Structure 1
Amino acid sequence: MKNTRQILGLAFMSFALTGMYGCELKPKKATTEPVLAQSFTTANDEKPKTNTVKIALLLDTSNSMDGLINQAKSQLWDIVNKFTYAKCGNEQRPELQIALYQYGNDNLSSREGYIQQVLNFSGDLDEISEKLFSLTTNGGEEYCGEVIHTSLKQLNWGENPDNLKMIFIAGNEPFTQGKLNYKDAVTNAKEKDIVVNTIYCGNYEQGISSDWKNGATLTGGEYIAIDHNRKVVHIDTPYDDVIIQLNSKLNKTYISYGAMGSAKMEKQSTQDSNAYELEEAVAVKRAVSKSSRLYKNKNWDLVDASDDESFDITKVKQDELPKELKGKSKAEIESYVQEKKSDRIKIQKEIQTLNAKREKFIAEQQKEGGKGELENAMLEAIKKQAAKKDYKWEE
């Protein structure tokens, strides 16, 4: 089912909804650990954060899902840009972590049910983008119950009852395929306080008859059916080129350090290129995401690392510093970092200001052309639910 253009837009909009149920009324006291060079830990090793929303995205990568994958690559930045404005009732900003699975692909192991964990829970936006761009499609068997069960078993969902945990599964074959009954899988999810949302790529009634709706209903989740022939139209604006230019300047404010610093900086550049090659509008959305609070890289960037009170620049070894800082005194390094930080703040503010104008321009064009009715309806529903759960959206 090619050119499935709406699916991930709706899925990621629904991601914003996920944060609405995870607000803790009282912030928990968090312990801090020193940020040191080479402290690259996976999300599974990190201590639970307050107000963390965990999303597992399960994507069908069989031959018919090329459009689904392309949509995932571009719509990642939409959810980040919407989610960045969310605030809990306790005035804290929620964190967002995404895990990624693919299923239904003949290139995957039959012994594993044609299922693969592509990414564990992560808040690293460059890493999430990299993994999405690594996906390819091939024919296979699509076992919805099995992939849901696998994600429940393999991922560290945490024990915090205040955090919202959700699964979004997208595909187009009957939800009943496979030896493992999907009802057992979703019942297990509900017992773990994990909501399953289903996105059927096809006719609404057909999705109901093939049990996609029931798979969501059993956990209180949402069932969405998408007309895959409807295309998302990206609207070019007068602000796009300037935002892309500012993104290049933004990249120059990063100061890599540690054993993987250079590789992480290269990954940042690669994901910029991937977004641009997909479509210029996607590169603009990514640049906006990089100017938000959710794009943080303290494990390889000295500017972000310096925001942590426990960070000690003297603990970074000389051979782990970039060339321009080798042999410099602590005062000289701190001055250089502060200069880059000031530049970054200025550039990010410029991007945010231009993006506000860009969004206004897009809204006006959509009204004139009658575009985006379904997406607008989804956003309205999200904000209504947010209000019920004591969430605020401060843009």
Structure 2
Amino acid sequence: MKNTRQILGLLCMSFAITSMYGCELKPKKTTAEPVLAQVFSPINDEKPKNNTVKIALLLDTSNSMDGLINQAKSQLWDIVNKFTYAKCGNEERPELQIALYQYGNDNLSSREGYIQQVLNFSGDLDDISEKLFSLTTNGGEEFCGEVIHTSLKQLNWGDNPDNLKMIFIAGNEPFTQGKLNYKDAVTNAKEKDIVVNTIFCGNYEQGINSDWKNGATLTGGEYIAIDHNRKVVHIDTPYDDVIIQLNSKLNQTYVSYGALGSAKMEQQRTQDSNAYELEEVVAVKRAVSKSSRLYNNKKWDLVDASDDATFDIAMIEKDELPKELKGKTKAEMESYIQEKKSDRSKIQNEIQALNAKREQFIAEKQKDGEKGELENAMLEAIKKQATKKDYKWEE
């Protein structure tokens, strides 16, 4: 179907774009929910913060879209790292939730319009990475209107006017395909205060003629056309190997607990490996993301969980504790967790400091245009929208 190398970069850049829209100007008082309730009752997800950015990525996984998927896997970390610096007008840091759909793949059910929800809204970066790496391509029919409508129907977008809600859909077949008129789908999105952004892989005018631009314009979204054959140049730096080594040390600061603990630690290691096998620079970017506020695992890690004001290690059942804490007194367990927390903070600060030098090195070596037109277009959109919606970017 289409060879789209940068489409995905685009998509992921969309994450960042999210920060550009709405910020709640006056913080509202909320009652913090106990961490343990989230752990032992996973069905009851914690209440999202008022400043939450919700992004649904709708990716075409028909034939020849492997480049798109690979870009998504690598660009995810670029977007997360950019998003780390977003701040609302009330000085709060917005939360980020991402949902993932694939469409246009013959392996999917024809009764469902060759559409599948791969991931519901989630802020778990390891889950998002795992789902992206699970995608494979196969020929199929691409129904843009149908996949937009499906995401509106299945996802819990909420009705909080302070939340920024966005759809990013990527592909290169006519936007008009399928029985469901895309105009009805995007009109429904606009009524729900959801902005639809379209990414066309191909000639700009061709995207306009096949209604990709109109699909975005009807909701006030952005239309972007990219040269999918243009390869982004990654620059190796003297700091990459050290950051990867620090990432291994960072993993050693996690103290798993509960039913999720063991599996989530294994998932963490697997996603590190996936990133490294894709490209070493992707592993570096993932390590930087793991040193940020957006990588939080309080549902299975005692160090992150201990940051909650309601957390009490004594409330955890003995059989839910990791082996290194079994048989210890409450004071000994708290001391152990505090030691790991101190180690983690030090390692994360080292990674952030090295990444600052890394980014400066890249900026000095990078030639004009090497970022790729997709990335440049997305960053411009982010800055523009951030100003309009009272977001700031403090890098």
Q: State the TM-score, normalized to the length of structure 1.
A: 0.96
What's the secondary structure of 2:118's corresponding residue? strand
The 1:225–1:119 alpha-carbon spacing in structure 2 relative to 1, beyond 3 Å, is same
Q: Is the 8 A contact 1:35 1:312 kept in 2?
A: no
What does residue 354 of structure 1 align with?
354
Shift of 1:86: 0.5
CA deviation vs aligned residue, 1:310-364 (integer Å, no higher than 9, x gap): 1111111111111111111100000000000000000000000000000011111
Structure 2, gaps ≥5 residues long: none
Tell me which amino acid in the other structure corresponds to 1:356. A
What does residue 40 of structure 2 align with?
39
What does residue 13 of structure 1 align with?
13
Q: Is the 8 A contact 2:176 2:211 kept in 1?
A: yes
What does residue 83 of structure 2 align with?
83
What does residue 51 of structure 1 align with?
51
2:210 equivalent to 1:220: no
Q: Is the 8 A contact 1:2 1:68 kept in 2?
A: no
2:342 equivalent to 1:342: yes
2:233 equivalent to 1:233: yes
Identity rate of aligned residues, in percent?
A: 88
CA deviation vs aligned residue, 1:197-251 (integer Å, no higher than 9, x gap): 0011111111111111111111111111111110111111000000000000000
What's the secondary structure of 1:331's corresponding residue? helix
Tell me which amino acid in the other structure corresponds to 1:23. C
What does residue 277 of structure 2 align with?
277
Shift of 1:93: 0.2
Q: Distance in 1 between matches of 2:307 and 2:45?
A: 21
Query: Which stretch of the first structure deviates more once superposed, 64-73 or 349-358?
Result: 64-73
Q: Is the 8 A contact 2:108 2:115 kept in 1?
A: yes
Query: Which stretch of the first structure deviates more once superposed, 124-133 or 371-380?
Result: 371-380
Q: Distance in 1 between matches of 2:93 and 2:134?
A: 30
What's the secondary structure of 1:98's corresponding residue? strand
Tell me which amino acid in the other structure corresponds to 2:371. G
Tell me which amino acid in the other structure corresponds to 1:76. L
CA deviation vs aligned residue, 1:10-33 (integer Å, no higher than 9, x gap): 333332222222200001111111
Q: Is the 8 A contact 1:2 1:67 kept in 2?
A: no
Q: Distance in 2 between matches of 1:366 and 1:169?
A: 29
Tell me which amino acid in the other structure corresponds to 1:8. L
2:370 equivalent to 1:371: yes
Q: Distance in 2 between matches of 1:58 and 1:158?
A: 19
What does residue 262 of structure 1 align with?
262
The 1:121–1:373 alpha-carbon spacing in structure 2 relative to 1, beyond 3 Å, is closer
What does residue 152 of structure 2 align with?
152
CA deviation vs aligned residue, 1:279-299 (integer Å, no higher than 9, x gap): 000000000000000000000
Q: Distance in 1 between matches of 2:377 and 2:7?
A: 15
The 1:59–1:40 alpha-carbon spacing in structure 2 relative to 1, beyond 3 Å, is farther
What's the secondary structure of 1:64's corresponding residue? coil
What's the secondary structure of 1:21's corresponding residue? coil
Tell me which amino acid in the other structure corresponds to 1:358. R
Query: Which stretch of the first structure deviates more once superposed, 372-381 or 129-138?
Result: 372-381
Q: Distance in 2 between matches of 1:195 and 1:381?
A: 13
Q: Is the 8 A contact 2:105 2:141 kept in 1?
A: yes
What's the secondary structure of 1:224's corresponding residue? strand
Tell me which amino acid in the other structure corresponds to 1:39. F
Shift of 1:384: 3.5
Q: Distance in 2 between matches of 1:40 and 1:55?
A: 25
Q: Is the 8 A contact 1:4 1:230 kept in 2?
A: no
Q: Distance in 1 between matches of 2:51 and 2:178?
A: 35
Tell me which amino acid in the other structure corresponds to 1:26. K
The 1:137–1:40 alpha-carbon spacing in structure 2 relative to 1, beyond 3 Å, is farther
What's the secondary structure of 2:141's corresponding residue? coil
What's the secondary structure of 1:288's corresponding residue? helix
Q: How many residues align?
A: 393
Q: Distance in 1 between matches of 2:239 and 2:77?
A: 17
Shift of 1:381: 4.2
What's the secondary structure of 2:272's corresponding residue? helix
Q: Is the 8 A contact 1:175 1:210 kept in 2?
A: yes
Q: Is the 8 A contact 1:195 1:220 kept in 2?
A: yes
Q: Is the 8 A contact 1:48 1:158 kept in 2?
A: no
Tell me which amino acid in the other structure corresponds to 1:278. L
Shift of 1:48: 3.1
Q: Distance in 2 between matches of 1:376 and 1:55?
A: 20
Shift of 1:3: 5.1
Query: Which stretch of the first structure deviates more once superposed, 290-299 or 30-39?
Result: 30-39
CA deviation vs aligned residue, 1:171-214 (integer Å, no higher than 9, x gap): 11111111111110000000000000001111111111111111
Tell me which amino acid in the other structure corresponds to 1:362. I
Q: Distance in 2 between matches of 1:392 and 1:189?
A: 26
What does residue 133 of structure 2 align with?
133
2:236 equivalent to 1:251: no
Alignment of 1:375-394 (within 5 A): 375-376=375-376, 378-394=378-394
Q: Distance in 2 between matches of 1:101 and 1:270?
A: 22
Q: Distance in 2 between matches of 1:269 and 1:78?
A: 20
Q: Distance in 2 between matches of 1:379 and 1:142?
A: 28
Q: Is the 8 A contact 1:130 1:271 kept in 2?
A: yes
Tell me which amino acid in the other structure corresponds to 2:370. K
Q: Distance in 2 between matches of 1:211 and 1:230?
A: 23
Q: State the TM-score, normalized to the length of structure 2.
A: 0.96
